[in-house]
Amino acid sequence: MDVLEKDMRIIARFEKNDSVRFVSHLDVQRLFHRAMRRAGLPIAYSNGFNPHPLMSFATALSVGVTSEAEWFDIKLTEHMDPSAFLERLNDMLPNGFAIKEACMDSAALPSLSVLMAAAMYKVKAVANDKGDYSLLQNSIENMMSGSIMVKKRGKGGEREVNLRPLVKKIEFIDATDSYAELMVLGRLSASESLNMDLLLNRLKEHWTGNAHFSVHRQCIYSQDGRLFPKLED
């Protein structure tokens, strides 16, 4: 491989499935770095006394959430075919993670976190007390009709915030005797994002307090309203 005058940047999408949904974002970062080293990829590192890989993730995924739309970029010191990058890294990733597509950044895109605007989530709602799923749609409409006030903890302590501006849409998809499916479109950006845990806990209060939800991130939308750019090799 030829050494580049300028580091090569690869952008990739990966899945995080049910078996690894409780792996934290920090642990995911460490896991990917170790897998890249084991794969022998020509990772570019920062300068200084404590060099770190020039790799960044578009956004952090909450613990307990699965996804098919996680993005990261990595700089390499040598040219590498994106398909070879995908194959070699997948060989070293543990079960539950899989790189689905990768491409060379030929357009000199800015930070991925700057491009994000919203994310679509598929939610499975299960009432532990055999609640009436036909009432869930009414509960959603009632919650969305006004402010969605929740208590959020931060470095400055606990404060009350309104989630309603961050919720673009909640759609009731279907229901069976044992569960219901929803689609939630929420804001996702570097500055402010919808906290799905806070939203769904509030929904429980409108519907039934004895329920649990499983959440899956399906896709991310860019600032221009389109899906996060489809990658091409």
pLDDT in tens, 110-120: 889 998 999 99
CATH of the domain at 88: 3.30.70.580
140 in helix, strand or coil?
Answer: helix
What element of type H or E holds 43?
Answer: none
pLDDT band (50, 70, 90) for residue 233: very low
Q: What are phi and psi of 96, to 5 degrees?
A: 110, -20
At 85 the pLDDT is: 97
Residue 229 belongs to some domain of the structure: no
Domain boundary among 54, 78, 109: 109
Domain identity same for 84 and 135: no
225 in helix, strand or coil?
Answer: coil
Q: Choose among 186, 204, 205: nearest CA to 65.
A: 186
Helices (H), the chain: 25-38, 82-92, 112-115, 136-144, 196-206
What are the tens digits of pLDDT across the range 132-181? 787 899 999 999 999 999 998 878 888 999 999 999 999 999 988 889 99
Residue 201 belongs to some domain of the structure: yes
Domain identity same for 8 and 99: yes
Domain identity same for 13 and 56: yes
What element of type H or E holds 126?
Answer: strand 116-127
> By residue range, what is the domain housing residue 119?
115-222
At 188 the pLDDT is: 95
CATH of the domain at 146: 3.30.2350.10
Distance CA 36, CA 14 (A): 14
Residue 227 belongs to some domain of the structure: no
Whether pLDDT at 187 is above 50: yes
Domain identity same for 103 and 18: yes
Number of CB atoms found within 10 A of residue 81's CB: 13
* Domain total of the chain: 2
What are the tens digits of pLDDT across the range 2-49? 444 467 999 999 999 999 999 999 999 999 999 999 999 999 999 988
At 2 the pLDDT is: 42
Placement of tokens 């010191």 in the chain: 77
pLDDT band (50, 70, 90) for residue 229: low
At 155 the pLDDT is: 80
Domain boundary among 109, 127, 159: 109
Whether pLDDT at 1 is above 70: no
